[in-house]
Structures are given as structure tokens and as C-alpha cells.
Chain A
């Protein structure tokens, strides 16, 4: 027997991450409650730019994804990796840098989003300096994590570690490629991709943020903490291996299902659908594996709130991963896309799966980290029931709202006219459901408050001496040392015989075991698995011209329109308005000609949107006089009675700064947008002239005077330009491949 080494786990860092989870969980949920209230009751926008829906919604989504779920992942990873590797974290300083870097990043992110600094790419809204900072923090995490694995005292890497590895490498790849952008200044950059390509890269990222932030690491937590809490090993380890590899091979392909019937080439969308449907079996394999781990322990589930949270969390994983493939089927998606159905779907995942798994882990971990007992089991049980009720109160009305609105959008009179031609009718019908959602969300947060109280009291009774837990384990033998055991003495090291013996021993122990013992090889294989899908979908769309046919009549924006577009992005208009009309009669009747791929070639980034809380704007240009837009921005209800849109009255007062016009155009030329030297040189003057012209027209239509140096004219200029180019010249240069929808 080898002499055991004694070492201490770093529990202080785990405690920090656990508290950060709770802090950001509360902030993210409160932001969610606020935006839910804004949808039910528009005055909650308070006419305060920082609190309008368009700016606050990304604070909610990013706060929950990276603040709440991100921190529970790190809590679990730092706690379980040390134990699974029987080693302290690689480096305490890196651990601290990771912790503080992440928290400061989220805080800076929340503030910058409220200030209107955004790229408008969903769940990747943060501007480039923060993107760079996040990359640095992630690298610190990766070094710390892989360093720990390298120093492990347990040869085999338990399945939870593989899920963590997949997360670390995939998130890095996704984040870097989706965030590639050219900076204009410290707070503004433009995506290097445009239109169709940007949409594809964004939703390749967006869907895999769901896969590799909200799913795989939480599965890692499930495979560690569920067996711990149930005090029995996972139901089938073999199934967990299949679960892992199938998810990693398939998940990465699914992104294009977010773009069905859009201007994305049909082949990419079909691949996305096929792979999304294929995701069902592995996901359910994982759910079954989790639930069956509790077999014979259901009596404990009755007693133990931790297991209650896990049982329902895993069940929600199963439900979400059933609903996801269903929604990815094109015919279902034709109804569900742009509606609240998607919102309900994602919330069944975040509230049910992420939230409840996080609560289970916290209730299990906090007493252990503070070396005490949980203050109150009955409070935790109450949290469970209130949280479950809150989810019902959230999900049922929002599912209903989504399907109701989707059906209303496509309803026709027998005469062939739209049954609800006025978009706002379809909004007013679902506002009552928005109120019920506010109630459901408030209940869920009430549960969270119980957790905070319970954790605070638990910590209050915690041990005074919180020194790190001591552990001991024999050191790991070197890889070759272990394998030469039993090698006959006459076989010399470093000969072919020796190598052959090593190889045969490795294979004899099983292919996968050899793999598990080799983190580097394992990681490389994981990267390969996720790369194949990414490359097959993305490279042809970027490199093959026929996938995005150009339209001769589509021209770049004028400098003022470009400025207006920046305001549109900054205010988060895309959070409520799509700019992508699908080729359905119900949509072309309502909005006009369906959107073509070539129309958004100069859109860095694309603005197709994902939800229609308000109507699509792809053909808004020249639909109304300038004054209509001014009045509408000042008070949306003056032009659209019943509208739930926030007021943007400050745009009529805020000064228009056109000083960067030339720089913007020059940057655009680097992204292959064709502006001439003369246009770049005269950009500011041209912008002013157009602003004067629009202001004059507003005045002549009976509107307010003196708007030529206000932001509103830039926004009006942009809105009046959206989607008009193809109307101007009927001679489209559309090759046959574009006709595949």
C-alpha cells in the first residue's frame, strides 16, 4: 500500500461562489420580475431609459445565465472537481482571480447594458472590452481547472468531469467566434458577420449557450450531487457515457432551428431540425439515468428537500428536452416562432431544471461548507412547494399566451382577409396572461427569499473554524509506471515490445478507460466532436456566394441611417421587434413582401430578432409619414391605442452626435460595405443635410420644430429606410438557389 498524502480542499472559494450564486440569482430574478411587469403594465418602464424593457431584458437574461447559473456551475465545479480529483484546486490565486473577475464582469455587464452599450446579439450582448475580459477570466478558469485535473490522485475521470471539460472548451470556442467584431470606440463595435451569416453564427452560439452553459455543466452537477444526496451510485454509468458523447456529438448542430423559414438557406435549417429531433433520446437517457438513481430511495425523496428539488429538476430537464425537439420541427415552429411559446420553453428549462438543480445543490452544500446542519428543512420544503407553484403560475399562462397569439396572427376571415389585422389586438388578448405570469414569477422569487433566509440562518450557526477540509489519498502513479506493472522483467523499457505491451494493456483495460485517463486526448476528441457540426454548417454559408445572393437594388445605409440603426440596437428594439418576414401568406398579408437573404448583407449585426412583442418591422420603411414615428416614439399610445411599448420621449430631446460618422463608414468598408472615399469624407455633412431635411418634413407635417439635432431624426431616418430597397427596383438579381423556401 502506498503512503497516503494529506492535503486540504479549498472550500473558501466554494463558499464565495455559493454566495455569489444566491446574490446574482436574486438580482437576475428581480430583473425578470420587473420586465414581466413592464409587459403587463407599460408605465412600469417609468420613462427612464435605463429601465426600459429593451435595456432591462438583457440584464435579466445575462444575469440569470452568467450570474446565477454561471456561479452555481463554478460552485459545483470547484467543490466536486477537487473531490473527484482528490486534489486541491491548482492555484489559489487563479481561483480568486476567477471569482472576482467573473463577479466584476457581471456587474460591469449589467451596468453597461442599462446604459445602452450592447451588440444586440442575444446572450452575447456585452461590448468588446467586456468580451475580452470574459475571455481572460475564462482562460484563468480553464488553466485552474485543467491544472487540477493534471494533479489528480484518482486516475479515472468521473463522468461529471467530462461534462465540465466539454463546457470549458466549447464555451471558449462559442464566445470567441460569435463575438468577433471591429471596435469603433470603447463602447461600440460592429460584428464582423452580417445578415444571414451573422444570424447563423449568433444562433449557433445562442443554442449552444443553452447546451454548454445551461445543460452540460448542470448535468455534471447532477451526476455528482444526485448520487451524493441519494447516497447511491448513478443508475447506469454506461448510460452516462452514452449520454455524454451523444449530447456532445449532436448538440452543436441544432442552432439553425432558431431560424426556420427565415432567409437562412433551407438546407442549414433542415440540418438543425434533424439534429434537434435526434437530441431527444440522449436527453431522455440522461433524465432516466437521473431519476432511476433515486430508485429504492423514494422514501428519502419524501423526507429530504434536496432530493425533491433534484427529482423535479431532472423531470423538467426531460420535459424541456421533449418540448425543444418538438418546437424545432418546422411545422410546429411556424406557429411557435416569435411567440411566447419559446419564452415558456426556455423558462421551463431555467426555472425548473437550472433553478431547482441549483437550489438542490445549495441546500446540500451550504451546511457542509459551513460545517453545520441546515437551519430548517421545513422552510426548504416550503421553498420547494412555493417554487413549484410559481413555475405553474409562470408556464401555463405563457404557453397559453404563446399559442393564442400565434393562432391569432395566422387567423383568416372566410373572405380571405386577416381576422386580426391590427397587431395590438393580439397583444391585448394576452395581457391578462402577462399579469398571471407576474404572479407566478413573484411566487418563485418568494421561494428564493426563503432560501436566502434559510442560508443566512444556517451560516449563522456555522462553525467558527472554517479551515479547509482535510483529506488524504495516495499519489497517482505515473501513467507508464502503472502500465508497466506486470511487464515481464526481460522486456526492456522504450523498446517496441514495451510499447506494444503498453498498448495492449491500455486496450485490455478498455478503450474508453484509456481515454478517460488521458485528459488531453479526451479534450481534443471533445473539440473535434463539436467542431464537425459547426464547420459543416457555418463554412459553406460564409464562403459560398450562392447561399446569400446579393440584390442589385440593396444599397448601404446613409451615414444618418447608420447612426439611427445604432440607436435602434442600443435601445434593444430587437427584443420586441423582428425584422424578418417569413414566406407565409399570414405574414405577407400583414407585413408585406417576405424578407430575402440579400436584404441584410450590410447589416452588421443582423437585426432579425426572435420575438414579436410588437409587430415585425422589416417593411416599416415609408409605411408611415415621419411625424407618425415621432409621435409614436414620444407616446406609442397616441398612434397605436393599447400599445404596451415604453415611451421613448427622451429621443426628442437627446442631442445627436454625428462626429463619428466618417469613422463609422470607414470601419464599415473594412467589413466589405461599399462606401466610396468621398462618401466617407463627407459623411458628417451628408448626415446633417439628411437630418435637416427630415426635420423640415416633420415640421411641415405639423410636428415639433427644431428636431434636426436630436436623436429622433436619426432613428426616423433608419426606420424609413428599413426594407424599402427591394421596392425601389424590381429587377432583383436573385439566382435560382434563393428560391428554395
Chain B
């Protein structure tokens, strides 16, 4: 029953629309990512290093820093 309905409904166009939407969304994400300033990303990239810098305003930990 379910199969018959699905088969006769001509749903293939939905798959194509879905794919196109997916691709457009992806392009949008890429475009936004590429247009941000470098300085902004530089700050974010330092997040994992921050928890070892005790003077950093974001926070501090007391961990041994050398292996």
C-alpha cells in the first residue's frame, strides 16, 4: 500500500530539489566563511591554547605545561 502510493506519487523531483537546496546551503556556508576577516578567526583559533595561559583574561588553569 505504502509502496504503491510512494511509487505513483512521482517524488523524484523532491530528491532533486533537496539536493539543490543542500548544495545552495553549502555554497552559502562557504561564502560566509570565506568573507570573514582573518583577525576574527585568529582569535578563535587560539581558544585551545588559552587554558594554559594563566594571564589570559578568559581563564586560567594550573597545569604542567611541559611533557
Contacts and interface: CB of A to CB of B under 8 A. Distances in A.
Interface of A: 1, 4, 9, 80, 83-84, 86, 153-154, 156, 158, 160, 223-224, 227-228, 231-234, 236-238, 241-242, 245-246, 249, 304, 306, 363-364, 367-368, 371-374, 377, 469-474, 510-513, 529, 532, 535-536, 539-540, 543-546
Contact of A473 (B6, B59, B66): B59
A233 B64 contact: no
Interface-central residue, B22, B30, B45, by most chain A CB under 10 Å: B45
Contacts of A242: 30, 33
Contacts of B22: 249, 529, 532
A1 B59 CA distance: 12
B67 A306 contact: yes
A154 B58 contact: yes
12 contacts: A1-B57, A227-B48, A228-B48, A233-B45, A245-B26, A249-B26, A372-B64, A471-B62, A512-B36, A513-B40, A532-B19, A532-B22
Contacts of A227: 45, 48-49
Contacts of A153: 59
Give the interface SS of chain B, mostly helix, strand, loop or mixed.
helix
B61 A471 contact: yes
Contacts of B40: 510, 513
B13 interface: no
Contacts of A363: 67
Most buried by B among A156, A237, A306, A470: A237
A9 B61 contact: yes
Contacts of A304: 67
Contact of B66 (A234, A245, A373): A373
B67 A545 contact: no
Most buried by B among A223, A373, A511: A511
B3 A471 contact: no
Nearest to A380: B67
A231 B49 contact: yes
A241 B41 CA distance: 10
Taking chain A's interface residues, is the majority helix, strand, or loop, or is none over half, making it mixed?
A: helix
A465 B8 CA distance: 70
A80 B47 CA distance: 11
Contacts of B29: 241, 245, 512
Contacts of B51: 83, 86, 471
Given A532-B18, A532-B22, A469 B49 contact: no
Interface string B17-52: 011001000100110111010101110111111011
Contacts of A83: 48, 51, 61
Contact of A543 (B3, B33, B58, B59): B3
A471 B61 CA distance: 4
Contacts of B67: 304, 306, 363-364, 367, 373-374, 377
Given A227-B48, A233-B45, A373-B66, 19 more contacts: A1-B57, A9-B61, A227-B45, A228-B48, A233-B46, A233-B49, A237-B45, A241-B29, A377-B67, A471-B62, A472-B59, A510-B36, A512-B36, A513-B36, A529-B22, A535-B18, A536-B19, A543-B6, A544-B3
Contacts of B15: 536, 540
Given A86-B58, A249-B22, A373-B67, A237 B49 contact: no
A166 to B, nearest CB: 14
Nearest to A4: B59
A514 to B, nearest CB: 10
Contacts of B32: 510-512
Interface of B: 2-3, 6-7, 12, 15, 18-19, 22, 26, 29-30, 32-34, 36, 38, 40-42, 44-49, 51-52, 57-64, 66-67
A238 B36 contact: yes
Nearest to A234: B45
B28 to A, nearest CB: 8
B60 A471 contact: yes
B18 A536 contact: yes
B61 A158 contact: no
A472 B6 CA distance: 57
B47 A512 contact: no
A470 B61 contact: yes
A158 B44 contact: yes
Contact of A238 (B2, B3, B33, B48): B33
Contacts of B46: 233
Nearest to A158: B47
Given A367-B67, A510-B36, A469 B62 contact: yes
A84 B48 CA distance: 6
Nearest to B46: A233
Given A160-B48, A242-B33, A245-B29, A368 B59 contact: no
Nearest to A8: B61
Nearest to B12: A540
A-B pairs, top 5 by smallest CB distance, nearest first, are A473-B59, A233-B45, A237-B41, A543-B6, A237-B45
A474 B64 CA distance: 22
- Which one of B2, B15, B19, B51 has the greatest number of beta carbons of chain A within 10 Å? B51
A238 B30 CA distance: 9
Nearest to A223: B48
A238 B60 contact: no
A227 B48 CA distance: 8
Contacts of A545: 3, 7
B47 A156 contact: yes
Contacts of A160: 48
Contacts of A364: 67
Given A227-B48, A544-B7, A368 B64 contact: yes
Given A368-B64, A510-B32, A529-B22, A543 B2 contact: yes
A241 B33 contact: yes
Contacts of A224: 48
